[in-house]
Amino acid sequence: MIVMKFGGTSVEDAPAIERVAGIVRSRLAEDPVVLVSALARATDQLLAAGKAAAAGDRDRALELSEALRQRHLRTACELLPGTHFSKVQPALESNFKPLQELLTGVATLRELSPRSTDCLLSFGELLSSEIVSAVFVARGLAAERVDSRECLITDASHTKAAPLFDETRARLEGRVRPLVERHVIPVMGGFIGATLDGVTTTIGRGGSDYSASIMGAAMRAERIEIWTDVPGMMTTDPNLCPEARLIEEISFEEAAELASFGAKVLHPATLLPAIEKNIPVFVLNSRNPAGAGTCIRAHVPGNHHPVRAIAAKRHSTIVNVAGERGEIPRGFLREVLAVFDRHQCQVDIVASSQVRITLAVESDSAAPELLADLEHFAQVSCEPRQAIVSVVGENLRGRQGIAASVFGSVAAAGVNVRMISQGASEINISFVIHEDDVPAAVRSLHKDLFPKGEVASYGSPVDTSIEVTAHGSKI
């Protein structure tokens, strides 16, 4: 059994969904379990509708929901012959009445709570999984849609719920395993789950990758495939730096570090369940299914090149915390970290001196309540719009001269470095710069660390002419 997850761009419209059917057909012998994201941008549009409703603009909210309704019906209609369309149409329509009621309720209360947000955002994956499973059936694949809220059981931390692994495993064995044994393809929405009481939850934006690995690990899949819009995991974000190269193989440790430090191609938590059960994860391109993609696994042969990839994580804020009398008293660091911990704010980088502690955190988590708690015993100032750039590679800590190369390259790009972290991780050098400087810094680093013409032992230049394989026929 394998798990195949298709991201938003891989199901964005009728031709994309047609390709998905072809790709899944090519894996039938391996008993695929399929997870899909919402159609590209649908989650953002649902959120925009929720925000409009919360601001009291009910009409705008309903207009956005109507646009989503039209898009889903049009996509299904383009893909499905009459009889199949008339079967799926009521199923699609049945989602829009509760969606409109929810938006009307939010507009009346002028309040969009995390719990309502989860309910609202779940419609994206509920709808896409309905369409994709109907297309599979119409193309002669034995498939059945499964509501992932019956299987992915989580705690009640709405918008970032944590999976309850034992319960999830039991539900998958009860609901999904029997389908796999009958060679029927279960088709589920990623990202969404439910509490033990059946209240809808989501596991964080971009979380469909994580759903795939939770389910893959729970069902002991042979491998997990993440199908997306780029050739695989690359030496940096190809949208930031067109010279980025495909990484054919990478270790769990390095890939997890890249995902945590901004390589959006994988949700940061994706690799944890896979590492625990030692299941290889492949990142593949749904626009070029014949491409090799990236294999992420436990042991990857060493390479002569010190750097594997460069990642950038935007939306960071630097929080400066100084002692009230110009020095930091005993126990100050512990007290400061306790505040971040109490507010469940993850600290990405920390630096300290005699007079102050400086921390880089995700901007959304530097909440006013957290800052107010710090102000009870310290002087606090914030610098928003920062980004963390990370250079990741095997045993970077032991490579002489690597820091000089990294910071020389950043300096040559005319970029000022605000904070540095090296040595805490064996495989990562991270530093903080202004968000606007990210493209210049990353391009300069990529040029210097991955020189043109060099035959990297693990990387190959990207084929920029991404081939669109209609109906997956070339696989």
Using the structure block, give the residue that is written with the tokens 């692994």: 165
Rounded to a whole number of angstroms, the minimum distance from the CB of residue 38 to ligand ASP is 4
> Does 309 participate in binding ligand ADP (rule CB under 6 A)?
yes
Q: What is d(CA 193, CA 147) in angstroms, rounded to the nearest whole number?
A: 9
Structure tokens at 219: 């069902």
Cβ distance to ligand ADP smaller for residue 7 or 124: 7
Site string for Mg ion, 201-240 (x = CB under 5 A): -----x----------------------------------
> Does 200 participate in binding ligand ASP (rule CB under 6 A)?
no
- List, in sequence order, the alpha helices (H) in 219-356: 252-260, 271-277, 332-342
Distances (CA, A) of 174 to 146, 148, 167, 168, 285: 12, 13, 11, 10, 32
> Does 190 participate in binding Mg ion (rule CB under 5 A)?
no
Pick the stretch among 204-212, 275-283, 321-329, 414-422 that binds ligand ASP (CB under 6 A): 204-212
Could you say which of 22, 50, 207, 216 contacts ligand ASP (CB under 6 A)? 207
CB 314 within 8 A of CB 438: yes
> Does 386 participate in binding ligand ADP (rule CB under 6 A)?
no
Pick the stretch among 6-14, 178-186, 236-244, 269-277 that binds Mg ion (CB under 5 A): 6-14
Rounded to a whole number of angstroms, the minimum distance from the CB of residue 111 to ligand ASP is 22
Distances (CA, A) of 7 to 17, 126, 243, 469: 11, 14, 23, 17
- Residue 309, binding choice from ligand ASP, Mg ion, ligand ADP, none, Cβ under 5 to 8 Å by partner class: ligand ADP
Cross-strand bridge partners of residue 34: 4, 187
Structure tokens at 427: 């495989």
Q: Which residue from 395, 327, 382, 325 is spatially nearest to 356, judged by alpha carbons?
A: 327
Instruction: Give CA 22 to chain center in angstroms.
Output: 24
> Does 265 participate in binding ligand ADP (rule CB under 6 A)?
yes
> Does 208 participate in binding ligand ASP (rule CB under 6 A)?
yes
Q: Restricting to residues 219-248, which ones interact with ligand ADP according to CB under 6 A?
A: 228-230, 233-234, 236-239
- List, in sequence order, the alpha helices (H) in 250-354: 252-260, 271-277, 332-342
CB 134 within 8 A of CB 80: yes
> Does 190 participate in binding ligand ASP (rule CB under 6 A)?
yes
Q: Restricting to residues 29-58, which ones interact with ligand ASP according to CB under 6 A?
A: 37-38, 43
Binding site for ligand ADP (CB under 6 A): 7-10, 37, 206, 228-230, 233-234, 236-239, 263-265, 309
Binding site for Mg ion (CB under 5 A): 7, 206
